[in-house]
Each structure stands twice: as C-alpha cells, then as structure tokens.
Chains A and B, each alone.
Chain A
Amino acid sequence: GAVVSQHPSRVICKSGTSVKIECRSLDFQATTMFWYRQFPKQSLMLMATSNEGSKATYEQGVEKDKFLINHASLTLSTLTVTSAHPEDSSFYICSATTGNSNQPQHFGDGTRLSIL
C-alpha cells in the first residue's frame, strides 16, 4: 500500500521549455503533497507544500512563478518548471501524505530533469 507514482522519470529538453511533472497517489487520498529538489551531493530540499484545493506554500527562496504547483485532486499534484534553464537541472521528487502530521510521507521515484 501507499504507492506514489511520479512521471516522467527522466526529461531532457532545451532551455526555455516548460516541463510538467506529475505525482499521483495510487492507493490512498493525498490531502498533502510535497515537492523536493536535490542537487548533486546535496540533501533533499523542500520546495513547496501543497494541500488539495489550496494554493501551494513555497519555501523561502523558491520562485512560485517559476515552479507552478497544482493540486486539484486528492490523487494528483503537478509541478511545472516554466521557461527552464540549465540551472534548473536537478532531481525533483514528490511525496504524499494523508495530511495528518502523524502519518509518514510516501515518496515517488523522482524525476531527473536535464536542461540543455
């Protein structure tokens, strides 16, 4: 149980392109989803927290107009990297939880984004 599917697993695209990453909870209702980013040799860094039906809450230093998050249903959240540039190349990973702070986050397998 508690499976989170993230798609695509790998994206390579040209600078200036917008890229959408999907995160789905397959067997539970995810009231809250989290988006993380990990640069090489660094730790997973929380980018934003999204609650179903609400605007996402972004961490300090994360541009909300660049990283658009939509959490329109209890099983799907999307992260769109708009006008991506090489410095946006990173490993993006989502997690989902039922929203109760006592329930663990379940992670997707991540998306490796490479901007040429």
Chain B
Amino acid sequence: QKEVEQDPGPLSVPEGAIVSLNCTYSNSAFQYFMWYRQYSRKGPELLMYTYSSGNKEDGRFTAQVDKSSKYISLFIRDSQPSDSATYLCAMSGRGFQKLVFGTGTRLLVSP
C-alpha cells in the first residue's frame, strides 16, 4: 500500500464549478500537509499548507485535514481555466523536510 493515495484523474469541470481534490494516507506520523500546483513542464509550486487537523482558507482555495480519517482535501471555488494543472498533495512528519507526495490529480477547467 502506498503511503499517500491520490486519484490521478483527469478531473474535468466547467468554469465556475467548485472543485474537490483529495488524498488519503496511511502514516499516522504525518503532521504537515501541503498542496502543490504544477503546470505543464514546470516545477511544483506551493499553494497551501496546514499543520495537524483543521481548515485553512486562502482566497478561492480551502484546505481541510481530517487526521482521524487520514484524509485531506483541497477545494477550489469559482474555478477558472487558469486553474488547469496537476495538483499534488504532500505530507511529512517534520515540517517541509522529507515530503511524501501523492501521484497528483490532473484538473481541466473548461471555459
């Protein structure tokens, strides 16, 4: 079993839709949870990160962590074509060191 599971997609939605991206994990030692966005032929860029359980909101993006279920989510409101990218979840037991990534979910937002 992989430490981090993520549906590779693609996930296709119309512009303006609410997008839900999810990851599950098996290692209860993970305390730090991140979401990265990766455009084609570019490196991942950090979108949001949370420590332990709870919600965090930044503009159109909301990250949720449910440690009891070992489940994290990223919600994108009012999705835009420019949001089309691959979204990677990553997590670690110690800050931003030794990240364990999901495979990434490819998101396509059509105008």
Contacts and interface: CB of A to CB of B under 8 A. Distances in A.
A42 B101 CA distance: 9
Given A43-B102, A43-B103, A44-B88, A101 B97 contact: yes
B42 interface: yes
For chain A, the bracket of interface size reads 20 to 34
B75 to A, nearest CB: 21
A109 B4 contact: no
B94 A101 contact: yes
Interface in A1-58: 4, 6, 9, 32, 34, 41-46, 49
Interface in A87-109: 93, 95, 97, 100-109
B98 A46 contact: yes
A9 B4 CA distance: 28
B102 A101 contact: no
B19 interface: no
B49 interface: yes
A6 B104 contact: no
Main secondary structure of the interface of B (DSSP, over half): loop
A4 B46 CA distance: 13
For chain B, the bracket of interface size reads 20 to 34
Nearest to B43: A107
Contact of A105 (B42, B94, B99): B99
B44 interface: yes
Given A43-B4, A44-B88, A6 B96 contact: no
A93 B101 contact: no
B96 A102 contact: yes
| Candidate in B49, B94, B103 with the most chain A CB atoms within 10 angstroms | B103
21 contacts: A4-B43, A6-B43, A9-B41, A34-B99, A41-B8, A43-B2, A43-B4, A43-B100, A43-B101, A44-B99, A46-B99, A49-B97, A49-B98, A93-B43, A93-B44, A100-B95, A101-B96, A102-B95, A102-B96, A105-B46, A105-B99
Given A44-B44, A46-B98, 11 more contacts: A6-B43, A43-B6, A43-B102, A43-B103, A44-B88, A49-B98, A100-B95, A104-B46, A106-B46, A107-B45, A109-B41
